Chains A and B, each alone.
Chain A
Amino acid sequence: MTDCGYGNVRDALPDYLNDRLDTAHRREVESHLAGCDACREELSLLRTLHVTMRRAPAVNVDAIAAAIPAYRAPVRRGWATPWRVAAAIVALAAGGTSIALLRSHASVQREDVSPYVTATRTREPGPAPQVVAPSTRAAEVPARPAPRSATIQPAPTRELAIASGSIGDLSDAELAALVDDIESLEATPAAEVESAEPLSVGAQEGT
């Protein structure tokens, strides 16, 4: 038994056998079959196999149908199911607690601000944080002001600058203290208390 080279026709023979071709394809297959012994042989073999395989074991249709329950539409729940409401309450409580903790932490940070260094955060680029040299601080800067009203403001930038004088004017001890303060700035949390205006810190203790 040889195979025909027209693979498309051979591929469609089971569809032809089961009457699953549209009219145009059926005619095409029939036209080919009229002149191709190999495909006629293969179709004959498929018919024999088809008959052989069509014999099915008996099944009890009534029993199977009786086992099928009536249709039950899926239950659609609204948004406000009890567990979702509970989850929303927990989320809100956690959020409020976080804000309170941040404010408390920021307040502590503000009290720890170095007398040398102040950092300013504003929405608009504003005056840079100032580092005041000890030698000029007393003359230019008033005493440390009373407690200031503090606000938390996200700011795009944070800058550090020398307010006046020169680093070269600082003594070794003052310079070391300034370096310590700068290093402590790097550890400042991202969310911290900011003053409405740049803070100018008064004289360092002992100077």
Chain B
Amino acid sequence: MTDVAPTTDERTDLDLVARWKAGEQRAATLLVERHASALARFLASIGARADVDEVVQDTFVRAFASIDGFRGDSSLRTWLFTIARRLVLDRRRAVRRRGEQVEVQETDVATEYDALDGVVAEETRARMQQAMAALTPTQREVFVLRVSEGMSYREIAEAVDTTEGAARVHYHNAMRAIKEFLDD
């Protein structure tokens, strides 16, 4: 039941990478259009609210600069998430060295999900935001990648530098914590 059908998206990504390497700069733009929003969602979910745009740009610049190191073992999107996450961690370390406070506040996470255009009722949305904010940082990372991006546990493990088994445990713990929060 854990098998995931191969997507044409991954083949399209590889095709676009090949076209960019062949000199078609427009292919790079198409890749940014395909993945920038997902990266921004993920970065917001892990508390990189203030500089999402900057981190997304750095992620793409680094990824394209080292594209020959991309072996295709995972999808391009997973690789981009891995780079983005490392950039956020590097920035947090740099901030810590400067002695600044970098703890992710609950409001940082919650305010990223504003203005849902009425798709979800306001009260329900607020409860969901609070439930997500109550998760640990790792649970939140894993849960967002699993539910919002539809990543497999293998892809999540690669993106957040953990094991498949640990990713599965984090997901189910997050799901249980959200249910308990909403049942209270």
Measured CB to CB, the residues of A under 8 A from B are 1, 3, 8-9, 11-12, 14-15, 17-22, 25, 28-29, 42, 45-46, 48-65, 67-71, 73-74
* B115 in contact with A1 (CB, 8 Å): no
Q: Give bound CA distance, A73 to B22, whole Å.
A: 10
Interface size class of B (residues with CB under 8 A): 35 or more
Q: Is B163 an interface residue (CB 8 A)?
A: no
Pick the most buried of A42, A70, A73: most chain B CB atoms within 10 A of its CB: A70
Q: How far is the CB of B63 from chain A (nearest CB, A)?
A: 9
- Please classify the interface of chain B as helix (H, G, I), strand (E, B), loop, or mixed, using the class held by over half of its residues: helix
B49: which A residues are within 8 A, CB to CB?
A: 57
Closest 4 interchain pairs by CB? A18-B150, A8-B1, A65-B29, A53-B148
Q: How far is the CB of B46 from chain A (nearest CB, A)?
A: 12
Residue among A9, A15, A45, A51 making CB contact with B4, cutoff 8 Å: A15
Q: A57-B43, A59-B52 are in contact. List 10 more A-B contacts (CB 8 A).
A: A12-B2, A14-B147, A20-B4, A21-B3, A52-B116, A53-B45, A53-B148, A59-B39, A61-B32, A67-B60
* B132 in contact with A57 (CB, 8 Å): no
* A56 in contact with B53 (CB, 8 Å): no
Contact with A along B5-47 (1 / 0, CB 8 A): 1010000000000001111010011001100111111011100
Q: Give bound CA distance, A65 to B57, whole Å.
A: 8
Q: How far is the CB of B126 from chain A (nearest CB, A)?
A: 10
Measured CB to CB, the residues of B under 8 A from A are 1-5, 7, 20-23, 25, 28-29, 32-33, 36-41, 43-45, 49, 52-53, 56-57, 60-61, 64-65, 67-68, 112-116, 119-120, 124-125, 128-129, 132, 144, 146-150, 152, 168, 171, 175-176, 178-179, 182-183
Q: Identify 24 residue pairs between A and B in the complex whose beta-carbon atoms are under 8 Å apart, listed by A's number.
A: A1-B179, A8-B1, A9-B1, A42-B175, A49-B147, A49-B178, A51-B116, A51-B120, A52-B125, A52-B129, A53-B45, A56-B41, A57-B112, A58-B53, A59-B36, A59-B52, A59-B56, A63-B53, A64-B60, A65-B28, A68-B25, A69-B61, A71-B20, A71-B64
